[in-house]
Amino acid sequence: MTDQTLSQALALTPDENGGLGASLSGAFSNAPQAMPPERGAPFGGLMAALAGTAARQGLGIGTPLRSLTVQYLAAARFAPIVFVPTLLRGGRNIAYASVAAGQPDRPALQALATFGRDVPGPELTPLVAAATPVDQLEPTPLDARFGPWFTRHIEHRFESGPRLFGLNPPEAPVLRVWMRTSDAVPLDEARLLFLLDGVYPTYWTALPAPPAISASVDLRADLFGDLTPETSPDGWAFFEFRTMDLGGGWAVEDGVAFAPDGRPLAVVRQRRKLMPTR
């Protein structure tokens, strides 16, 4: 099925064993649109969003998500999947949770989540976006030859274009892009987690074609505050992604997300394992 909406993909339903079930479909495959979605697997950003939502929904946690660390144990199948959240320690100001997700005989993901409320204290916000306003940029759909199926659910607007395949120098493998989910609803926690993995590996901008394919091994996102409908009413956030290291068959990439008013929303670090070339 490739007509599943994002809201349907993010929906979790309690099951009789205390877990939360979701339906993974080819609409959110990481395979290029030029291939059948079954050639890929469910997109890592969707899996991260479901893990964070499962911890919050399953444990009834109301405080903001502060960090989410995800290990992708195996590629999930396009089939129902169950997320099982566990409260490790909970309190009025901070709570720790773990989430395990899998399908019959196939553990797919494990995650750790930290939730905590804001309290008065000193403030420093050294991260600065300096972004071109989103209304000054044109939509930039990804080429279907390499753009995955899940990107049909994301609107991209790149600063200076996608910069693919050597248009960035090796010393500056950086991508700057506005993104929102295609439903254009106000940005929320799940959609921010979804978008933090919403673009191709940044090292593709500094290497020649064909792209070196990789798989996400783990991802850590740190969110800076509570997201309200007023944070980004139209769903937009500005992202800057950078390759920190590439070598030995591994890549480490960092990203920062900003609200339309320039306020930093989150940072993310992702480790990728490059696939062997044939």
Average pLDDT over the chain reads 95
Question: Does any domain span residue 123?
Answer: no
Pairwise CA distance, residues 228 & 261, whole Å: 14
Residue 113 CB contacts under 8 Å (≥ 6 apart), including other chains: 51, 52, 55, 56, 65, 67, 68, 69, 96, 97, 98, 99
Q: What is the CB neighbour count within 10 angstroms for residue 182?
A: 13
DSSP-assigned beta bridge partners for residue 158: 177
Question: Does any domain span residue 1?
Answer: no
- What's the one-letter identity of residue 8? Q
Q: What is the pTM of this model?
A: 0.96
- Residue 103 domain boundaries: 6-117+138-274
Question: Does any domain span residue 218?
Answer: yes
* 21-30 confidence digits (pLDDT tens): 999 999 999 9
* Tally of structural domains, the chain: 1
pLDDT value at 1 more than 80: no
The reported pLDDT for the residue numbered 125 is 86
Question: Does any domain span residue 131?
Answer: no
* 13-22 confidence digits (pLDDT tens): 999 888 999 9
In CATH, what number is assigned to the domain containing residue 68? 2.40.160.210
Question: Does any domain span residue 124?
Answer: no
Question: Does any domain span residue 126?
Answer: no
DSSP code, position 208? P
Question: Does any domain span residue 23?
Answer: yes
Of 130 and 111, more confident:
111
The reported pLDDT for the residue numbered 80 is 96
Question: Does any domain span residue 132?
Answer: no
